[in-house]
Amino acid sequence: MIHFNTISELDKADGFPPPENPLFSLNQISASTNALKNKKITCNFFIICLKKLKSGVFLYGKTKYDSDSGSMYFMKPRQVITVQDVELKEKGFAIHIHEDFLLGHPLFTEIRKYSYFDYETNEALHLSPREEKIMWSLYNKMETEYHNNPDEFSRTIILSHLDSILKYAQRFYKRQFIDRKPLSGIMVTKFNGLLNTYFEKGEAIENGFPTAHYLASKLNLSPRYLSDLLKQETGKTALELIHLFVIAEAKNMLTEGEKTISEIAYHLGFENAPYFSRMFKKEVGLSPKEYKNRILN
C-alpha cells in the first residue's frame, strides 16, 4: 500500500505537474492517466473525482463501484482506494483538497456533514447527462480561477464553487435514491427481514443489541448509505428503525406476560434491564412495568 502525505506527492505519482497550491489541486484525467494502475493507496486529504470507466475495477473501501456510467466519487482522508486495470471511456477530473485549505471557511465543518464521504459501497453518484454538465461547469469555473493570476479572492471563489459541487451532489444523490425507489423498497424489506432473523435465531442473546453497522455489512452497504437510503424511503434512519423494531418486540413480550422485564431485556440483547427500561420509556412514554400493568389490567 502507498500512502501519500501531500497532494504534491500524489499529483507527481499520477504524472501531473506540481499543484499551484500545495493544499489544493485540480487535474483533468484521461485514458492515459494510469500511473497508479494496480495500486492500493491512502491519502491525507479529500478526493473528489468524476470518471467513466471503460474497463477495470475501482474499489473504495471493500466493495467494487458500479462505474458503467458517468460517476462521481467522494473520498475522505485515510480511506483505502484500490485501482485495478482501469481504463476510462473519456476524460474526467480529480479535485484534491487538504483539510488545511478549508481552515477559516464554513466548509471546514460542513464537508464532514456530507454523508456520501462515508459511502463504501457500489453506490457511487451516477450522473445524468444534464447533471454531468453542471458538475463540469463548476469544475471549469474552479479551474479558470485556479490557473488565472490567483489573488486574495481566488481561494474564496474556488471554495464557493466547491461548495456548489457538494450541494449539487447532495441533490443528485437524493434523485438517485428516488430513481431507485423500487430497490429501496426491497432494501427496507431485507432490512426488516434481517432484524427478524436476528431475534428469531437468538443472535441478540449471543451477540447483543443489533447495530446499524452489522446490518449494513450483511446488506453490503456502508452504515451511512444504508441510513440515508432508509431515511429517503421511510423517513427513519437505520438506528431509528432498529429501535422501533425492538420496541415492537418488547411490547409483544410484555403483552404475553410470560417473561420478566429482565428476561425480555436479555432476550433483546440489552446489556442490562435499566438501559432497556430507559429506551422503552423514551419511545413509548411508559416504563416497561407501567406498560405491562396497563395491558394486563
Sign of CA dihedral 160, 49, 229, 109: negative
pLDDT at 253: 84
- Closest alpha carbon to 202 in 274, 277, 266: 266
Residues 255 and 292 in one domain: yes
Q: What is the CATH number for 14?
A: 2.60.120
Q: Name 224's Cβ contacts closer than 8 Å, sequence gap at least 6.
A: 115, 116, 118, 119
Which distant-in-sequence residues (6+ apart) come within 8 Å of 125 by Cβ? 71, 72, 73, 74, 116, 169, 172, 173, 176
The pTM (predicted TM-score) of the whole model is: 0.63
Q: Determine the average pLDDT of the residues in 129-137.
A: 92
- List pLDDT tens digits, range 254-292: 887 788 899 999 989 998 889 999 989 888 888 998 888
Domain of 283, in residue numbers = 182-296
Domain closes at, from 130, 146, 179? 179
**In terms of domains, do 128 and 187 share one?**
no
One DSSP character per residue, 230-242 reads: HHHHHSS-HHHHH
Q: What is the pLDDT of residue 15?
A: 84
d(CA 27, CA 150): 17
Closest CA relative to residue 117, chosen from 81, 83, 86, 79: 79
CA-wise closest residue to 123 among 167, 69, 193, 185: 69
In the chain, the percentage of residues whose pLDDT exceeds 70 is 83
Based on C-alpha coordinates, what's the Rg of the chain? 24
* Residue 28 CB coordination number (10 Å): 14
Average pLDDT, the chain: 82
**Do 255 and 266 fall within a single domain?**
yes
User: Is there a single domain that holds both residue 135 and residue 273?
Assistant: no
* Same domain (yes/no): 200, 175: no
Mean pLDDT to the nearest integer, 246-259: 84
Residue in 117, 132, 105, 116 with CA at minimum distance from that of residue 23: 105
pLDDT tens by residue, 21-37: 899 999 998 766 555 56
Looking at the structure, tell me whether residues 163 and 235 fall in a common domain: no
Q: With CA atoms as reference, report the closest residue to 27 among 43, 49, 57, 52.
A: 49
Domain boundary among 126, 145, 179: 179
Residue 95 confidence (pLDDT) above 80: yes
Helix ranges restricted to H, 126-260: 129-147, 154-179, 181-200, 203-207, 212-218, 223-234, 238-256
| 209 plus 166 within the same structural domain | no
Of 146, 179, 212, the residue at which a domain comes to its end is: 179
- Whether residue 142 is found in the same domain as residue 265: no
Q: What is the total count of domains within the chain?
A: 2
Phi, psi of 201 (to 5 degrees): -85, 0
Confidence of residue 142 (pLDDT cuts 50, 70, 90): very high
Q: Residues 146, 30: one domain?
A: yes
Task: Dump pLDDT digits (tens) for 15-72.
Answer: 888 888 899 999 998 766 555 566 777 788 999 988 876 555 566 554 444 445 558 8
Domain containing residue 203: CATH number:
1.10.10.60
Based on the fold, state whether residues 96 and 11 are members of the same structural domain: yes
**One domain, residues 79 and 130:** yes
Same domain flag for 197 and 143: no
Over 50: is that where the pLDDT of 135 sits?
Answer: yes
Q: Give the C-alpha separation, 38 to 58, whole Å.
A: 10
